[in-house]
Amino acid sequence: MSGSKRGSLWTAATPSTRDLPPYPASSTGASGVAEKSRALVTGGAGFIGSHLCERLLSEGYKVVCVDNMLTGSPENIATCKTTATSNSWKVM
């Protein structure tokens, strides 16, 4: 099978994001995040992961951060620890 046929089959089989229904409205605010929403961030103590954790916490998610600390740093998640509520943040 040639590359162009494979690409056209992939495109035909993949649904467009325009066809997906919008997220339902939430009473928790403009972000649309329900209070029970949880997020698991692997590599959460790295540069990108720590910023993702901060963003998710600011939007009301309960965040579980998993990192083996080989390249991550505890300093990267220090702000998450201080700004999170007691039941919205967990580091593993």
Strands (E), the chain: 38-42, 62-66, 89-91
Question: Which residue's structure tokens are 């600011």?
Answer: 58
Residue 13 confidence class, pLDDT cut points 50, 70, 90: low
Over residues 11-36, the mean pLDDT reads: 55
Query: What pTM was estimated for this model as a whole?
Result: 0.58
Under 8 Å between Cβ of 62 and 91:
no
